[in-house]
Structure 1
Amino acid sequence: MTYSQYSDQMTPSSQIYVPIPNNSKRDWAGVVDSQLSSNFALMMQFAVASYCPSTTSSKTWNCGVRCEGSTAGTVIVGSYSNSATGAAGFVGYNSNQHMIIVSVRGTADIQSCIQDIALWKTPADFGGFSNNKAPSSAQVHAGFKNTYMGLQSTLQSGLVSLAAQYPSFDIVFTGHSLGGAVVNLAAMDFYQNNPQYGSRIAIYTFGEPRVGNVDFANYIDSLPYAQKIFRVAKSGDIVPHLPPESFFNFAHHIDNYEITRFGTTTNYCVTTGPAGESDSCNSDTIAINLLDHITGYYGWYTYPWFC
């Protein structure tokens, strides 16, 4: 497929981001409303932009169709790309969308794959203040933490500056695959050191693997922005089933939403197990292949091609 063919088949989001109130999200059931689905599509477009070298290396918002439509006008203030670890992401702001945005890419090369399969766990401690530090029993996937630590300085310094400069903007974290795991760690780290901004944080992830153990997932669930965490999984995507729930006590945090395999209908998945685990949606119970993970979210290809 050529870039022209790819851009012709993609329609950039034309939506304005609408912050979700931090209240009754967990009372939802069934199909979510059109506004939240629009937010999902917009945030996936921001997530897939982090696969492009222009955003993570040269700090320019010039990534083809991914940087058009509702994401146009984004200004990147900090970016990071490390070929040794495969980590890459950016922090910036979009005045049209009234948001500060952090986006981290998923697995795009063999180095990231190596990080993904490091299955041992390590304490969920990034040097936060003691009053907000995760409990000592909370542990996270060592590979995900190592990837985040490579990005930490760039993301956190940019966030602190932008949060003070734009006090009315939401602080939104987004990522696909490994990126979804990493932005959860970035948001937690930012909150631990800047708890005054907790009510402004929102997280949107797509095809996110399990990040840590049950105690870590429950800790995430206790934070003030927990009602604004949206974990989207597509039916058929194998990655949200990894690492296995029974393997070394990994567990998902709340809350899961499903894109059906042959469409874009998004359902709320009721939590039925420990932490954020659920079996009420097909995406919770069916693991089929990797192709749905790579190409299955609103049609975006999660490759550094077509940027």
Structure 2
Amino acid sequence: MYTFVPWVLSALSIATSVVASPLAVPVANSTSPVIDVVTGITSALFDDFILYTKYCSASYRENCARPVGRALFNEPGHITGFIARDDGRLEIVVTFRGTHSVDDALTVGQLALTPFISRGINETFSVHTGFLNSYNGVADDVIRIVKEQLVAHPGYRIIVTGHSLGGGVAAIAAPSLRVALGDAVPLKLYTFGQPRTGDPSYATYMEDLLGEQNIHRSVHTTDGIPGFIFPSLGYAHFATEYWQYSDPIPFLLARERTIKKCVGGEDPACSAKLTTFALSSVHWTYYGQEISSDPTVCL
């Protein structure tokens, strides 16, 4: 069952509810994963991608009594999000919403790099100013709630996820939570359509701190948003990218074969080779989930 945890801030509130498992997906037996011979992607990992896109989609719903309720920041510069607990999967999921308002767009436009200073982090390398300020506005509450849940539910793992702008904020939140919780708590990051978030030293820091195997940065076909903050501005992507270079074709192209697990943060054989950086419909569809426009995630 999913238990949705109240995230109460001066600018955010969320109702607590216990519901059935509307987001549940099949999971392959961990002792015998189904691995595609071309990409090396397991069917279980593909199912995880589907699941966390549903969390991201739910974060956009303004009237979502279930499963996550209404969860909106009301102050400029802050970002909507929620924290949910999945007792079936033994997970605490921290989700950040993407661009949904003029204020969100202005946040994305704060492209200046600034030193990565956040809860428990004081680094000289730099990250996106808007993403950092958005997370810092809620960092204390996020860490407090996650710690409270871990005390009540020891052994759970942490999932940090977000789409678009929310992916950028999630990429700031994940290292902050990693430092605050210590290495004993498993933590994974799943982002979808995430823009570049920091400089090359930050990218290396992310890979070393979280472990490349715990980072899942998805790009859907020709989505231009992950590339629109150019390296010439001092930014770099971190590993590991999962590029869905083609949508599945029933009976012809199995879904696992559409994914390429990339090497490094700027693999020239993956989305880094794209030359279009415009916002398009593919940015709003990840792993078959219509991000922000699927009311079924609230049933």
Task: Count the aligned residue pairs.
Answer: 261
- Measured in 2, the distance between the counterparts of 1:164 and 1:153 equals 17
- SS of the residue 2:119 aligns to: coil
- Measured in 2, the distance between the counterparts of 1:141 and 1:18 equals 39
CA contact (8 A) 2:224 2:283 kept: no
- Measured in 1, the distance between the counterparts of 2:75 and 2:293 equals 14
1:228: how far off? 0.6
Query: Partner of 2:134 in structure 1?
Result: 147
Structure 1: 5+ residue runs without aligned partners?
1-10, 21-27, 64-75
Instruction: Pick closer, same or farther for the CA change 1:88–1:215 going to 2, 3 Å.
Output: same
- 1:15 corresponds to 2:26: yes
1:18: how far off? 8.2
RMSD: 2.7
Q: Which moved more, 1:144-153 or 1:177-186?
A: 144-153
1:108-166: CA deviation from partner (whole Å, max 9, x where unpaired): 111111110111011111131xxxx4542x11000111111223233222111112222
Structure 2: 5+ residue runs without aligned partners?
1-21, 32-36, 249-254
- Report the residue type matching 2:53 in the other structure: M
CA contact (8 A) 1:236 1:286 kept: yes
- 1:43 corresponds to 2:52: yes
TM-score (norm 2): 0.78
Query: Partner of 2:7 in structure 1?
Result: none
- 1:61 corresponds to 2:66: yes
CA contact (8 A) 1:294 1:301 kept: no
Q: Which moved more, 1:218-227 or 1:250-259?
A: 218-227
1:16: how far off? 4.1
- Measured in 2, the distance between the counterparts of 1:117 and 1:305 equals 27
Query: Partner of 1:126 in structure 2?
Result: 118
- Report the residue type matching 1:183 in the other structure: A
CA contact (8 A) 1:147 1:182 kept: yes
Percent sequence identity is: 26
- Measured in 2, the distance between the counterparts of 1:150 and 1:172 equals 20
Instruction: Pick closer, same or farther for the CA change 1:244–1:17 going to 2, 3 Å.
Output: farther
1:15: how far off? 2.4
CA contact (8 A) 1:253 1:277 kept: yes
Q: Which has the higher helix share?
A: 1
1:261: how far off? 3.7
CA contact (8 A) 1:210 1:250 kept: yes
- 1:285 corresponds to 2:273: yes
- SS of the residue 2:231 aligns to: coil
- 1:173 corresponds to 2:160: yes
- Report the residue type matching 1:278 in the other structure: D
Query: Partner of 1:30 in structure 2?
Result: 39
1:293: how far off? 4.2
- Report the residue type matching 2:92 in the other structure: I
- Measured in 1, the distance between the counterparts of 2:149 and 2:208 equals 25
The partner residue of 2:73 within 60, 70, 81 is 81
CA contact (8 A) 1:32 1:266 kept: yes
Instruction: Pick closer, same or farther for the CA change 1:29–1:163 going to 2, 3 Å.
Output: farther
The partner residue of 1:268 within 261, 276, 279 is 261
- Report the residue type matching 2:199 in the other structure: N
- Report the residue type matching 1:300 in the other structure: Q
CA contact (8 A) 1:236 1:292 kept: no
- Measured in 2, the distance between the counterparts of 1:147 and 1:216 equals 18
- 1:300 corresponds to 2:285: no
- 1:107 corresponds to 2:74: no
1:271-299: CA deviation from partner (whole Å, max 9, x where unpaired): 2xxxx111112x22114342244322023
Instruction: Pick closer, same or farther for the CA change 1:160–1:17 going to 2, 3 Å.
Output: farther
